[in-house]
Structure 1
Amino acid sequence: MYAVDTPPRTSDPAPQPAPKKVNRVRRRSQREARTAWLLSLPTLLILAGLLAYPLYRMILLSFQNMRLRELITGLTPPWAGFDQYTKALTDSVFWGVVARTAVFTVVSVTISVLLGLGVALLMRRVHSKVRLFMMIAMMFVWALPALVAAQAFRWITDSDFGILNYLIDKIPGVDFANHSWFVNPWEGWAVITTLVVWAGIPFLAISLSAGLTQVPKELLEAATVDGASAWQSLRSITLPILKPLLTIVTTLSVIWNFGLFTQNWALRDGHPEPVYQTLATYSYTQAFGQSRYSYGSAISVITVLLMLGVMAFYIRQMFKIGEVD
């Protein structure tokens, strides 16, 4: 018998899904998308009423010249075009406020994130009961209204009866009796920054502590066996895993701190001096303190435009994390 060479068998082509099954899956996806939009509609309508309409009115007002007379009589304010924006963008005082707000945001967010990360790392190393106590204490700080916290700091730094002056004055050779912390802008901003950082650490620490639970212990143990130091493990293992969460909490902190209003407003008793003005307080002072409503609206619109880039970056990061998940 002679061997007959048989050609090698080629693999069968992958079976194609039936057209009916594809159509059924497509219809189900469309139905789920419609259901999602339908369930979200009440929330979208509420957001449109609470946010979109006031924003539209603010933008419209910034192109008008609303004065006290129009506010009282209800007459339509005269159209001013871009006059309010030109006035703001050519005003050195306005750009000084922008620079001051930006510097404060960078400094306060940097300190907050670093301290929050440090507290989160500490929470992963202490005993579980100590960790629980730390979380409860930080939750109380987080739940404290900003106005109440600002009032407490105002009492602490009071020039006549403040506990801070009393304690510093006890240091030999130091005279801090009746010291005013807000005469010097550097000291005043140090108090404001301390208050903002103190109030922001609970959110950062608790969020980052939860993120640290996702770092595999096996990787850290293997790095330790290989001779890596704690700093090397943090830099090469922990921080890369925490990067998405760090990006989100940092962006949120930038958004919150850039809109600083309550802390410096309360600490200065509702009359912040020019060196303590931020964009939020400056627009409010111009609109309601000096009855320049359209000018204050223009400043608010510029503030929103400055924040759009940060908000777009935050939304982009959220979508990227969602795609990974």
Structure 2
Amino acid sequence: MSAADTTTPAKVPPPRQAPPPAGPGRPRRQRTPGGAATPWLLLAPCLLILVLVMAYPLVRLVTLSFQKFGQPQLWGFQSPDWVGFGNFTGVLGDGEFWAVVVRTIVFAVGCVVLTMVAGMALALLLQRVSGWMKTLINIVLVASWGMPVIVATTVFKWLFDSDYGVFNALLSKLPGVDMVGHNWFASGPEGLAVITLLVVWGAVPFVVITLSAGLTQVPKELEEAARLDGAGGWGVFRHVTLPILKPIIVMLTTLSVIWDMGVFPQVFVMRNGHPEAEFQILNTYSYDRAFVVNDYAQGSAIALITVLLLLGVVAVYMRQMLQIGEVE
């Protein structure tokens, strides 16, 4: 036996076993220290600004709505007295207030419906035009959307002016139509129709741009499959496009309701700072009670009721979004 045969064979280490999997699903993520507090730290500046900007006005609004506060209290001649729910009782028992509420709801619903229908129609049409035309239309939409409200209201006042209005002149060129000198603001319904067009004109660009972005996410394969199954244009829109756009439509509709119920400068400027009774909506009515009648407490009560109505709209929106999230 040689010396090479008498050497001790090298020991081979046993193979390492793979660590057991973390679980049947995705690998377990390691929690970093302070990870739960990081989102709150990032949100802290925004929350602080919201508290500083909105907390005091909201607290002051609630306080005034439970007090008797007029000009004597404003100038310090008398101290404000607590009246409990007296302001709310007076407001809710006033028939004029309920007429304003109904007018506001009708006005907001009309604006929202026209905005969503016009916005959806324009968004669908934008999918069928060439690239340069789509770019040009988007530039026009952004320009009109960025126009200040006061400027847009002034332009509409000129368009519908009874003496120099372009709209009356154009209508008068139609056979059998004579609109020269017609005053659109002589009656409430006609005047509010003009203001509705102004609000819709300012809101449509945002809806069109948002829906156009949503339409790019609709799979073309689903549309082609629906057409192969015999569905027409309306069928494809109803059964394919609309369900996919539902979260965006719910969001836009809710935001439109909030914005349209909060309309103020369009009515205020269009009526030269003194809206007549048939033009009053909740915001202008609250302003009128506070700064024209000088009943700041009752104006605050009306404003607080308006906030509660809008919170109801927000609650419906959150419920719809949660239902959509559960389905997905």
Give your verdict on TM over 0.5: yes
Question: Would you say how many aligned residue pairs link Structure 1 and Structure 2?
Answer: 306
Q: Distance in 1 between matches of 2:90 and 2:270?
A: 29
Q: Distance in 2 between matches of 1:281 and 1:198?
A: 21
Which structure has the larger Rg over C-alpha atoms? 2
Cα deviation for residue 165 of structure 1 reads 1.4
Q: Distance in 2 between matches of 1:154 and 1:183?
A: 14
**TM-score (ref. length: structure 1):** 0.89
2:100 to 74, 80, 97: 97
Deviations 1:160-181 (A, max 9, x none): 1111112222233322221100
Instruction: Return the letter of the residue paired with 2:276.
Output: E
**For 1:297-312, what aligned pairs fall within 5 Å after superposition?**
297-312=300-315
Q: Which residue of 1 aligns with 2:297?
A: 294
Q: 1:215 to 1:67 in 2, by over 3 A?
A: same
Q: Distance in 1 between matches of 2:99 and 2:121?
A: 33
Q: Does 1:56 align with 2:59?
A: yes
Deviations 1:133-154 (A, max 9, x none): 1110000110011111111100
Q: Which residue of 2 aligns with 1:119?
A: 122
Q: Distance in 2 between matches of 1:93 and 1:71?
A: 26
Cα deviation for residue 318 of structure 1 reads 5.2
Deviations 1:87-141 (A, max 9, x none): 0000000000000000111111011101100000001111111111111000011
Cα deviation for residue 227 of structure 1 reads 2.1
Q: Which residue of 2 aligns with 1:158?
A: 161
Instruction: Return the letter of the residue paired with 2:307.
Output: V
1:238 to 236, 241, 249: 241
**TM-score (ref. length: structure 2):** 0.88
Contact 1:248 1:317 in 2 (8 A): no
Instruction: Return the letter of the residue paired with 2:46.
Output: T
Q: Which residue of 1 aligns with 2:192?
A: 189
Q: Which residue of 1 aligns with 2:217?
A: 214
Instruction: Return the letter of the residue paired with 2:253.
Output: T
1:271 to 274, 278, 292: 274
Q: Does 1:204 align with 2:180?
A: no
Deviations 1:63-105 (A, max 9, x none): 0011101111275411111110000000000000000000111
281-290 vs 66-75, which deviates more?
66-75
2:53 partner SS: helix
Cα deviation for residue 225 of structure 1 reads 2.2
Q: Which residue of 2 aligns with 1:148?
A: 151
Q: Which has the higher helix share?
A: 1
Q: 1:322 to 1:225 in 2, by over 3 A?
A: closer
Q: Percent identity among equivalent residues?
A: 50
Q: 1:322 to 1:229 in 2, by over 3 A?
A: closer
Pairwise CA RMSD = 2.0
- 5+ long unaligned stretches in structure 1: 1-13
Deviations 1:250-277 (A, max 9, x none): 1000000011111111111111111110
- 5+ long unaligned stretches in structure 2: 1-19
Q: 1:40 to 1:322 in 2, by over 3 A?
A: farther
